[in-house]
Amino acid sequence: MNQAASVLRIGRHAVIIAIGILMLYPVLWLLSSSFKPNTLIFSDTSLWPKEVTLSNYITGWKGLQGISFARFFANSAQISILSVLGNVITCSLAAYAFARLEFRFKKVWFSLMLVTIMLPYHVTLVPQYILYNKFEWINTYLPLIVPKWLAHDSFFILLMVQFIRGLPKELDESAVIDGCSQSQIYFRIIGPLLVPALITTAIFTFIWSWDDFFSQMIYLNKVQLFTVQLGIRSLFDPSGESNWGALLAMSVLSLLPIMTIFLSFQKYFLDGIATTGLK
Amino acid sequence: MASARRPSLWRQDRTAYLFLLPWLLGFFCLTLGPMVYSFYLSLTKFNLLNSPRWLGLQNYVQIFTDDASFLQSLKITFQYVLLSVPLRLIFALLVAMALNKGIRALGIYRTVYYIPSLLGGSVAIAIVWKKIFDGDGLFNHFLATFGIEGPAWIANPLYVLYTIVTLSVWQFGSAMVIFLAGLKQIPADLYEASEVDGAGKVRQFFRITLPLLSPVLFFNLVMSIINSFQVFTPGYVIGDGRGGPIDSTLFYTLYLYLKGFSFFDMGYASALAWIMLAIIGAFTALVFVTSKYWVFYGDGKEERG
């Protein structure tokens, strides 16, 4: 009886580990292939390279048309960091108003905010493009950053509204009695307590902006403005003439910032996902 | 300013609207305004250079009566959504249940299973996928060790969609994390009590786990449907960026993109966008309407909104 139970437990562990390896396999293959000489990438299928080289990283880093990947990384970083700041600041302002303040038409605005979460991006895509084109914002980072400073990702507003609703209301009430204004309550009381939700928002925003290939492709078409995603896509030639070694090496580097952030904040991150689902 | 101590309604409003100002600006300039304009454009022909020319319903008529690419892109997208959403959610639920049985090192598994969801949206992983499922790629090497000769998965219009579906199923981690959190909230004594009553595992799953997990399932389902309809990067990178081979990767979003940004037919692209909104809206509404039959909100502890 006991033995059967432990066999079952070991079996379950084996399955879970096997699935885990399967899950990581493509990522490990990418990592290992990026260190293989070009001639061996597809003939040597083992994860442990027979011959290790850094040449893929060196040729890949040279980038496109004389512009190195250092530039693409700097560009992506600039966009992502400014997006994070915008989202964290403006979404938390809106969330505070929805969660704690009373004002006319609050219900209407709140429902509209909820509806925008479900709205597909494509419905506003064409007019937004036309608008940015009129402003002469094409081939600048403004179309990628300005929406974040206008709390356009309502999803994060909702996340923070839910979080603030979980904070005891007595805190603000006593602050009001002590003569605090609303902005003081936001900065001194809600702000510090909101940090876990702010971190979740920051990580999500960073990763989404870093990976957001579609908007980058639409709004940026000068090589010196390219982001990491656009750089990799341009190294990649669908007809099959790509320098695979260089391409895979740069792909590894493109995933590094995301992995680093995820591994350093994974608790916030995974719990953040869990709570958005449960509310 | 005698009202400083006892804020008047107006003053209270003003403070709140100041907090809300960035969002309101965004709502009018980036959502509502563009939506109205997009609807107007969908009734015109407009190529960015000349001013929009009024067509009435002609774009819509053409889409529904004389556009094979539209039907093809709809077919590809429906196939993708109907395959990938259920498969991803079933995987997510099964693995979450396996992980929920007091396994040590749960944190590590949770992290490992989540990594594909984290990286999966990037161009890099789409390229890896394309290489793994190429004719002489890793997957066929693996099949060859069993003496099976695999087809050219990517180059063959019959199979390429399935490789894109596997890429999406591989990313079950984010749904799994949400399921796992839901499973943790189910009180263990419910299972103990039902065991005393002699209920088997299957019965427990359908009588306890599934009903108590239904709000979470509902959330995952709605989000998955909405996101899957909008998939772009994997199809664009794994296919050739124009929907090939033979339109087998012509996802709806890709078709819309090509119409708008390769052919600069902004009116037509807008009409396509409105049809997409209607389709996603219909699917979401269907899930919402049926949800009252299958989503179970416990004893009303979980208030909505």
Q: What is the pLDDT of residues B211-259, one digit of tens each?
A: 888 888 998 898 899 889 988 888 888 887 777 788 888 899 999 999 9
Of A13, A97, A128, the CB nearest to B30: A128
Return the pLDDT at B23.
95
Range of the structural domain that residue B102 is part of: 52-293
Segment among A41-45, A125-129, B277-281 with least mean pLDDT = A41-45
> What average pLDDT score do residues A188-207 get?
88
From B270's Cα to the closest Cα of chain A, the distance in A is 7
- B82 belongs to a structural domain: yes
Beta-carbon separation of B27 and A112 below 8 A: yes
- A171 belongs to a structural domain: yes
**Chain B from 165 to 184: CB within 8 A of any A CB:** 170, 173-174, 177-178, 180-182
Of A124, A181, A263, the CB nearest to B30: A124
The whole-angstrom distance between residue A204's C-alpha and the CA centroid of its chain comes to 4
- Amino acid, res. A151: A
Domain boundary among A20, A44, A60: A60
Return the pLDDT at A228.
93
Return the pLDDT at A157.
93
From B66's Cα to the closest Cα of chain A, the distance in A is 22
Q: How many domains does chain A have?
A: 2
Is the same domain home to A88 and A220? yes
Interchain CB contact of B25 with A (< 8 Å):
yes
> How confident is the prediction for chain B on average, in pLDDT?
85
Chain A CA closest to residue B138 = A45
Does residue B75 register a pLDDT over 80?
A: yes
Supply the CATH number for residue A265's domain.
1.10.3720.10
- A41 belongs to a structural domain: yes
- The residue to which tokens 């990976």 are assigned: A211
Of A90, A118, A275, the CB nearest to B284: A118
Pick from B222, B178, B298: nearest CA to A279: B178
- Cα-trace Rg, chain B: 25
> What average pLDDT score do residues B266-276 get?
93
CB-based contacts of A188: which residues, under 8 Å, 6+ apart? A175, A180
Interchain CB contact of A90 with B (< 8 Å):
yes
CA–CA separation, A263 and A261 (whole Å)? 6
Chain B CA closest to residue A118 = B226
Mutation pick from A73, A122, A263 vs chain B, by most beta carbons of B within 10 Å, is A122
Chain B CA closest to residue A111 = B305
Is the same domain home to A144 and A222? yes
Interchain CB contact of B235 with A (< 8 Å):
no
Supply the CATH number for residue B60's domain.
1.10.3720.10
> What average pLDDT score do residues A145-159 get?
92
- A147 belongs to a structural domain: yes
- More confidently predicted of B267 and B4: B267
From A19's Cα to the closest Cα of chain B, the distance in A is 8
Segment among A170-174, A196-200, B62-66 with least mean pLDDT = A170-174
Return the pLDDT at A108.
93
- pLDDT tens-place string over residues A230-269: 999 888 876 666 788 888 899 999 999 999 998 888 877 7
DSSP structural state of residue A53:
-
Is the same domain home to B13 and B158? no
> What average pLDDT score do residues A195-208 get?
89
Return the pLDDT at A278.
47
Does residue B189 register a pLDDT over 50?
A: yes
Mutation pick from A102, A123, A228 vs chain B, by most beta carbons of B within 10 Å, is A123
Pick from B136, B163, B141: nearest CA to B239: B163
Is the same domain home to A198 and A170? yes
Q: What percent of chain B lies above the pLDDT cut of 70?
A: 94
> What average pLDDT score do residues A204-228 get?
91
Return the pLDDT at B7.
55
pLDDT bucket at B39, cuts 50 / 70 / 90: very high
Pick from A278, A272, A257, A275: nearest CA to A204: A272
Return the pLDDT at A279.
40
Is the same domain home to A72 and A56? no
Return the pLDDT at A277.
56
Return the pLDDT at B6.
54
- B38 belongs to a structural domain: no
- B275 belongs to a structural domain: yes
Is the same domain home to B8 and B110? no
Is the same domain home to B6 and B132? no
Is the same domain home to B132 and B21? no
Return the structure tokens found at A179.
Answer: 């003569």
Sort out which chain B residues have CB atoms less than 8 A from A181's CB and list them: 15
Is the same domain home to B135 and B247? yes
Interchain CB contact of B221 with A (< 8 Å):
no
Is the same domain home to A103 and A184? yes
From A229's Cα to the closest Cα of chain B, the distance in A is 6
Interchain CB contact of A262 with B (< 8 Å):
yes
Beta-carbon separation of B123 and A251 below 8 A: yes
Is the same domain home to A36 and A155? no
Is the same domain home to A156 and A19? no
- pLDDT tens-place string over residues B117-153: 888 888 889 888 888 888 777 787 777 788 777 777 7
Does residue B299 register a pLDDT over 70?
A: no
CA–CA separation, B106 and A270 (whole Å)? 12
The string of DSSP letters for B60-129 reads HHHHHHS-HHHHHHHHHHHHHHHHHHHHHHHHHHHHHHHHTTT-TTHHHHHHHHHHHHHHTTSHHHHHHH
Beta-carbon separation of B182 and A277 below 8 A: yes
Range of the structural domain that residue A28 is part of: 2-60
- A279 belongs to a structural domain: no
Does residue B195 register a pLDDT over 90?
A: no
Does residue B267 register a pLDDT over 50?
A: yes
Does residue A2 register a pLDDT over 80?
A: no
Q: How many domains does chain B have?
A: 2
Is the same domain home to B137 and B23? no
Is the same domain home to B108 and B232? yes
> What average pLDDT score do residues B184-206 get?
84
Q: Which long-range contacts (CB under 8 A, 24 or more apart) does B92-95 make?
A: B92/B172, B92/B173, B92/B175, B92/B176, B92/B178, B92/B179, B92/B220, B93/B175, B93/B176, B93/B179, B93/B213, B93/B217, B95/A16, B95/A19, B95/B172, B95/B176
Interchain CB contact of A218 with B (< 8 Å):
yes
Is the same domain home to A121 and A226? yes
Is the same domain home to B187 and B239? yes
Sort out which chain B residues have CB atoms less than 8 A from A118's CB and list them: 222, 226, 280, 284
- B25 belongs to a structural domain: yes
pLDDT bucket at B70, cuts 50 / 70 / 90: very high
Return the pLDDT at B303.
42
pLDDT bucket at B302, cuts 50 / 70 / 90: very low
What is the maximum span of chain B, computed from C-alpha positions, in angstroms? 89
Return the pLDDT at B1.
43
Is the same domain home to B21 and B59? no
Is the same domain home to A44 and A141? no
Sort out which chain B residues have CB atoms less than 8 A from A276's CB and list them: 178
Pick from B238, B212, B251, B245: nearest CA to B123: B238
Is the same domain home to B74 and B23? no
Is the same domain home to A268 and A220? yes
- A218 belongs to a structural domain: yes
- B195 belongs to a structural domain: yes
Return the pLDDT at B37.
92
Return the pLDDT at B3.
44
- A95 belongs to a structural domain: yes
Is the same domain home to A52 and A188? no
Is the same domain home to B274 and B148? yes
Interchain CB contact of A211 with B (< 8 Å):
yes
A with B: how many residue pairs have Cβ under 8 Å apart? 261
Is the same domain home to A106 and A33? no
Is the same domain home to B245 and B121? yes
Sort out which chain A residues have CB atoms less than 8 A from B276's CB and list them: 120, 122-123
- pLDDT tens-place string over residues A89-116: 999 999 999 988 888 888 999 999 998 9
Of B15, B115, B305, the CB nearest to A182: B15
Peptide bond preceding B245 in cis form (omega within 30 of 0): yes
